[in-house]
Amino acid sequence: MTKKRISLTLDENILKKADRLIGRLADNRSVVFEKLLERSFLSLTPKTAIILSGLNTQDVLLSDYKGKKVIEHHLSNLELAGVNKFVFVGGELENIRAYLKGGQGNYFYIDDDEAGTAGALKQASHLLQDKFFLVYGDTMTNIDYSDLYRFHTEQKTMATVALTTVNEPHKYGIAEIKGTKVIGFKEKPAKTKNYLVSSGSFVMEPEVLELIGTGKISLEKNVLPKLTSINQLSGYLFSGTWIDLGK
């Protein structure tokens, strides 16, 4: 890991507190501050979530699952991780607007103008000045988004995708991994010994938006391959609930 020497001016009392951690948190003052900064960054979980809500997905979001709407499952699970701003991206979002009109929350709506999953994301860039979660609305999961973010901060990549296993991998795009990095995707292979697939839940840094060109751009076909080609996509494995309601 490359390190850079810098000069900082700090309050003397802060220095004294940091020095008391030498031998407990780390062996020297520089590493103590490095550890404290890492912990601070980890506490700053993303406050914004993009929920991809295409026309077919909207029917799924407003359908019932175990006693409440699918959209409510997504909102409550993300709120547990500290998310307080929700951006719905898709076409003709009137039904979702109507459903959430009486709810309490910070909701935004972006018409994708048939720009593709990544093109629509680009259109929401003015709302994405910091890291964010991205969720496929037609999935159902109990993933711990706080833990997903913790893993993401450790990897130091531009994006992290949550990976899960399925019994019928030939119906999905298979994630190929090396260590903690995703090195590629294989679309619906007829035969495979790999059962890892994308769960449709991501953490992304705003720099990902710079990889998105103009026109109709697919996240799966255009952006994720770019990330894997520059070794900037990490894979977070989890074994909790995951259902592809779109299928």
Q: Supply the mean pLDDT for the chain.
A: 87
More confident residue, 230 or 193: 230
Amino acid sitting at position 119: G
User: Does residue 7 fall inside a structural domain?
Assistant: no
Q: Which residues are registered as beta bridge partners of 110?
A: 89
List the structure tokens of 201: 């839940």
Residue 85 reports pLDDT greater than 60: yes
**pLDDT band at residue 18 under the 50/70/90 scheme:** confident
Q: What is the pLDDT of residues 93-125, one digit of tens each?
A: 999 999 998 677 799 999 887 788 888 888 889
Q: Which helix (H) or strand (E) holds 52?
A: strand 48-52
**pLDDT band at residue 41 under the 50/70/90 scheme:** low
192 and 106 in a single domain? The answer is: yes
What's the pLDDT at 152? 96
Q: Which of 148, 115, 120 minimizes the C-alpha distance to 133?
A: 148
**pLDDT band at residue 38 under the 50/70/90 scheme:** low
Whole-angstrom Cα distance, residue 169 to residue 176?
A: 12
29 and 58 in a single domain? The answer is: no
85 and 193 in a single domain? The answer is: yes
55 and 107 in a single domain? The answer is: yes
120 and 161 in a single domain? The answer is: yes
Whole-angstrom Cα distance, residue 106 to residue 16?
A: 41
What's the pLDDT at 161? 97
181 and 95 in a single domain? The answer is: yes
Whole-angstrom Cα distance, residue 61 to residue 64?
A: 8
37 and 52 in a single domain? The answer is: no
In whole angstroms, what separates CA 20 from the centre of its chain?
36
**pLDDT band at residue 191 under the 50/70/90 scheme:** low
Helix/strand/coil for 182: strand
Q: What is the pLDDT of residues 131-173, one digit of tens each?
A: 999 999 999 999 999 999 999 999 999 999 999 988 876 777 7
User: Does residue 90 fall inside a structural domain?
Assistant: yes
What's the pLDDT at 13? 80
What's the pLDDT at 86? 96
Residue 228 reports pLDDT greater than 70: yes
Q: What is the pLDDT of residues 195-226, one digit of tens each?
A: 788 999 999 999 999 999 888 888 988 999 99
Q: Long-range CB contacts (< 8 A, 24+ apart) of 182-190? A: 182/224, 182/227, 182/228, 182/233, 182/234, 182/235, 183/228, 183/231, 184/225, 184/228, 185/220, 185/224, 185/225, 185/228
Tell me which range, 2-6, 23-27, 63-67, 120-124, is most confidently predicted by mean pLDDT. Answer: 63-67
What's the pLDDT at 174? 84
Domain region containing 97? 47-244
Whole-angstrom Cα distance, residue 90 to residue 153?
A: 29
DSSP result, 67-124: TEEHHHHHHHHHHHTT--EEEEEES--HHHHHHHTTS-SEEEEEE-TT-HHHHHHHHT
User: Percentage of the chain with pLDDT > 70?
Assistant: 93
List the structure tokens of 138: 């037609």
Helix/strand/coil for 18: helix
36 and 88 in a single domain? The answer is: no
**pLDDT band at residue 50 under the 50/70/90 scheme:** very high
Whole-angstrom Cα distance, residue 108 to residue 50?
A: 9
DSSP type of residue 218: -
90 and 199 in a single domain? The answer is: yes
**pLDDT band at residue 45 under the 50/70/90 scheme:** confident
Tell me phi and psi for residue 22, to 5 degrees: -65, 130
Please count the structural domains in the chain.
Answer: 2
23 and 105 in a single domain? The answer is: no
What's the pLDDT at 138? 93
Mean pLDDT for 54-75 is 91
Whole-angstrom Cα distance, residue 237 to residue 148?
A: 9
Q: Map tokens 């996509």 to a residue.
A: 233
User: Does residue 213 fall inside a structural domain?
Assistant: yes
* Lowest-confidence segment of 33-42, 175-184, 222-231 by average pLDDT: 33-42
